[in-house]
Amino acid sequence: MDRLARERSDLERMARTRPESKLARNFSLTFVLFFVGGVSWILGYQYPRDVDPSSTLPLSATKPPQFKLSPAHLEAAWADFVDIVGEHNVSTVEDDVKQHATSEWSSYQSDPAKTPFCVVYPSSTEEVAAIMKVCHVRRIPVVGYSGGTSLEGHFAPTRGGICIDFGRNMDKVLALHKADLDVVVQPGVGWESLNEQLADDNLFFPPDPGPGAQIGGMIGTGCSGTNAYRYGTMREWVLSLTVVLADGTVIKTRQRPRKSSAGYDLTRLFVGSEGTLGLVTEATLKLCVRPAAESVAVASFPSIRHAADCVARVVGDGIPVAAVEILDDDQMRFINAAGATSRQWREAPTLFFKFTGTDRGVKEQVEIVRQLSRRAGGQSFDFARDKTEQGELWSARKEALWSTMAQRRPGDHVWTGDVAVPMSRLPDIIEESKKDMKASGLTSSIVGHVGDGNFHMILVYSDAERRLAEDCVHRMVKRAVEMEGTVTGEHGVGLVKRDYLPHELGETTVDAMRRIKAAFDPLCLLNCDKVVRVEKPAKGEVAEW
């Protein structure tokens, strides 16, 4: 019995004590894991968007976006696109996709490895929404495209994926409301052809960026031009937008009244967002009645500073000129050299004025500006007596870019960069930038929307001089920021100026912009890497300030 009793007691211990204590330990573990799992569940799922209570999204808190770009996956997406728009509206032709990745105007050098897989040409908002739904489910990045005239790499793809081009099938004026002074257009309408159509009704659309630009891209960059001094920029002339968001949701930002204070200004949020927040598929634009009378005058000065003084007098006296542009002495020389205008010009800093209003009002403005120009040290003052002379005088302003391009040697490129500063600093920045450019030895000219403190530096450079040009632009941008200005007045940041934004605006402001990007496009499908970074840069990727 002794052995039996011992064995029995051992077995009883085994049966009760040891296994139970293991069980107890496992229960504790179970409980802990259950608790941790449950709490995670609650925090992770029940408050998926409230988990981060902060108001901004610093770069350090981002995760690299994940795309699916295997050849088989893209082939399958291609079939989806063909179902939506038809085979003739999906192109994988090499020339097509290459053309949609860069242009000879762009100061950004595109990465050929990131060329889009295909170009899709939709015909309607519904088709764009269907395409975006496919890309959203399939995690395929998208770049929107219209005129392709932007300068800073706005439509350069950085992640492969697809390009959606609005220029082929979405180029219609949908409705003109003459009595309401508005027009509804598709994104592929060019501003020049729009104005030709509007002229029949004595109307016009003021924003006047580079030739070839289309409404979609003009909205994307928040463009302007010579008319901005009197009429404001693109932001002032868009009433409402129909936008397809990253997940295919369609929104219309506003109805058609000229004025509204109902809710957040989504319209203005999309203007200048460079295709990163949504794809514009329809725009309602404000229009202007053509002024009763118009004239042009040209005045030359011994220096940029004299010209700027003249502008300050005109503005200070409250003379409502419609536009005032400055061309520097180099620019005037290039115009003479190109011989594209019917007359020769004094090769000195020159102001170009536009006047609009009633007949007598315009004549009086011209007379006042003539006097102010003389008092500011003006050396010449010509004004147009009729329509023909108006065209002749303004022709020099029109030929500025082309005549600088005519200075290119074979293989040369042209770089058009813009910055803007508070008006009083314009002579300083122009003078310093001109000195800097002369020192670099590059051929260059300056054309400015002087009434807005905004100017363009046009540089001619060879492949070997690329770095010289880059450095010149970099220093001009830095100068502008230090003068309380902006890295771009009307071209947008694209890829070339994106990393300047924290210097101009501060890190927290860029973090607030990144928060908006993440809110509307959490998967970063739309023109990824533009406006704000969504992924930490590699070491050395960002130029030193």
Contact positions with a copy of itself (CB under 8 A) in 264-293: 264-266, 268-269, 271-273, 277-278, 289-292
Sheet of strand 293-300, all strands in order from the earlier edge strand to the far edge: 380-383, 293-300, 350-357, 323-327, 443-449, 454-461, 413-420
Q: How far apart are CA 6 and CA 3, in angstroms?
A: 5
Q: How far apart are CA 101 and CA 145, in angstroms?
A: 10
Pairing of strands 162-165, 142-145: parallel
Which phi and psi (to 5°) does residue 159 adopt?
Answer: -135, 15
**Burial of 138 by CB count in 10 Å (0-12 exposed, 13-18 middle, 19+ buried)?**
middle
Residue from the set 68, 133, 138, 235 that interacts with a copy of itself by CB under 8 A: 235
Residue from the set 296, 501, 527, 533 that interacts with a copy of itself by CB under 8 A: 501
211 belongs to the binding site for a copy of itself (CB under 8 A):
no
Nearer to a copy of itself, 348 or 477 (CB): 477
State the minimum distance, in angstroms, from the CB of residue 462 to a copy of itself: 29
Q: Residue 371 contacts by C-beta under 8 Å, 6 or more apart in sequence?
A: none
Q: How far apart are CA 266 and CA 256, in angstroms?
A: 14
Residue from the set 2, 71, 113, 179 that interacts with a copy of itself by CB under 8 A: 179
Query: Which one of the spans 44-52, 92-100, 391-399, 409-417 is the region binding a copy of itself (CB under 8 A)?
Result: 44-52
Residue 77 near residue 140, CB atoms below 8 Å:
yes
Residue from the set 140, 156, 421, 437 that interacts with a copy of itself by CB under 8 A: 421
Which phi and psi (to 5°) does residue 401 adopt?
Answer: -60, -45
299 belongs to the binding site for a copy of itself (CB under 8 A):
no
175 belongs to the binding site for a copy of itself (CB under 8 A):
no
467 belongs to the binding site for a copy of itself (CB under 8 A):
no
Angle between helices 71-85 and 125-138 (to 10 degrees): 160
> What secondary structure letter does DSSP report for 68?
-
Residue 249 near residue 243, CB atoms below 8 Å:
no
DSSP-derived 3-state class of residue 203: strand
Nearer to a copy of itself, 232 or 377 (CB): 232
State the minimum distance, in angstroms, from the CB of residue 486 to a copy of itself: 4
Residue from the set 73, 114, 168, 252 that interacts with a copy of itself by CB under 8 A: 252
Residue from the set 519, 535, 536, 543 that interacts with a copy of itself by CB under 8 A: 519
Nearer to a copy of itself, 442 or 493 (CB): 493
Q: Show contacts with a copy of itself in window 312-371 (CB under 8 A).
A: 312, 315-320, 356-361, 363-365, 368
Residue 166 near residue 313, CB atoms below 8 Å:
no
Q: How many residues in the shown chain lie near a copy of itself by CB under 8 A?
A: 146
180 belongs to the binding site for a copy of itself (CB under 8 A):
yes
Q: What is the contact mask toward a copy of itself in residues 17 to 36, using x (rule: CB under 8 A)? A: --xx-xx--xx-xx--xx-x
Question: What would you report as the CA-atom Rg of the chain, rounded to the nearest whole angstrom?
Answer: 30
State the minimum distance, in angstroms, from the CB of residue 260 to a copy of itself: 4
State the minimum distance, in angstroms, from the CB of residue 104 to a copy of itself: 22
Residue from the set 520, 528, 529, 533 that interacts with a copy of itself by CB under 8 A: 520
> What secondary structure letter does DSSP report for 16?
I
Residue from the set 255, 371, 380, 388 that interacts with a copy of itself by CB under 8 A: 255
